[in-house]
Chains A and B, each alone.
Chain A
């Protein structure tokens, strides 16, 4: 088992290196963007995507915890996913703000996308604050899982409904409202490869985090 894991980690390292090289050397510049600023896309979009995946995954693990037999491993998985989602979310926010400075002239202007990611970061920050203020393990798992599921309920309003009632300057998604891909094929290739790599990176770190949390929990468990 161990050599296979090492091989996979090595492959991921090669893959991500290729994505970084491709972002600068292979993909062309997008039209209508200042200077080289469109290249940040290949890092910003995968990070935003991974934080989205992480928060959805945390919600699903919380649902499985609440309605699937209250297994501690689902709780640990949800908590680790939230931590990683926050990390990637902060990175997506920072890369987005840097790009906004170049293109829009200001780091921050409460574009609907910026609003929704900040509210998401606040929500999952609150999730971690809740966890740290509950001492009993079962109680912590149960209450924080309920809060994460509430997040699943509120998220559509942030990501799908609010941007519609407010004006946004944010470039359209890869697949826009008309369902067409309006991007240079080479850009799409690098972007999809980057997103796939970042998703794999997320699940790899997530797996490590969960195993670490399980070990810590076993070590700190009171003697019975």
Chain B
């Protein structure tokens, strides 16, 4: 049994390593995602004007803008993990090489690292550019971690579904956003609380519950999505 578990983990890690190796060959996701996030950041910051928004308004508005930037940047980069496999016709080889759940785990890890990298890049710049005063940075970091996890888990599963369809790009947004909206609403509420310095309360648990449900659903549904 331990042997099975270790081959499974080795498969998942191999997929994860393969994703990043392919990524560093072209640096497509890193470049586009980074630039996309930076462009939207600049658009938001420029539109707010040189003075920015007042503290009271900023508490209400800025967390929303941060999550909108993160959501759309993730939507620009995450679906590629599966779309590329179908486009370069490597999906069949991958079906033969790895167990579906290990493959999903590897892809999920790749999505997670990509999302966390994005958050680590975007959030400090966003906070600096909008001169946002965060009262409890620890809570904000926790919300970003939990929210980023849900974002990656939901997007990875939806990406696996749309990769086999036509009109992939638009379909991803149409299909992923209703799934991610509950997460977004809870994360925005929590981020507002973190900026204002309120305690986290039960909403953080709800966010973790969402992460857990979507991850379990992902592991459960991925085999039927992946294998024809």
Contact = CB atoms under 8 A, between A and B. Distances in A.
B129 to A, nearest CB: 28
Interface string A161-205: 110011000000000000000000000000000000000000000
Contacts of A126: 171, 174-175, 178
Contacts of A158: 181-182
A133 B165 contact: yes
Contacts of B213: 153-154, 157
Interface string B71-95: 0000000000000000000000000
B165 A157 contact: no
Given A147-B161, A147-B175, A153-B213, A133 B166 contact: yes
Contact of A119 (B164, B181, B189): B181
Nearest to A122: B178
B44 interface: no
B225 A142 contact: yes
A20 B228 CA distance: 49
A157 B182 contact: yes
B208 to A, nearest CB: 12
Interface residues of A, number: 30
A160 to B, nearest CB: 10
Given A147-B175, A150-B179, A157 B210 contact: yes
Interface string A105-130: 00000000001000110110110011
B217 A129 contact: no
A161 B182 contact: yes
Interface of B: 157-158, 161-162, 164-167, 171, 174-175, 177-179, 181-183, 185-186, 189, 202-203, 206, 209-210, 213-214, 216-217, 221, 224-225, 228
26 contacts: A66-B224, A119-B178, A122-B174, A122-B181, A123-B179, A125-B174, A126-B175, A126-B178, A130-B162, A130-B165, A130-B175, A134-B166, A142-B224, A143-B161, A143-B225, A146-B161, A147-B158, A147-B161, A150-B158, A150-B179, A153-B213, A154-B179, A154-B213, A157-B182, A161-B209, A166-B189
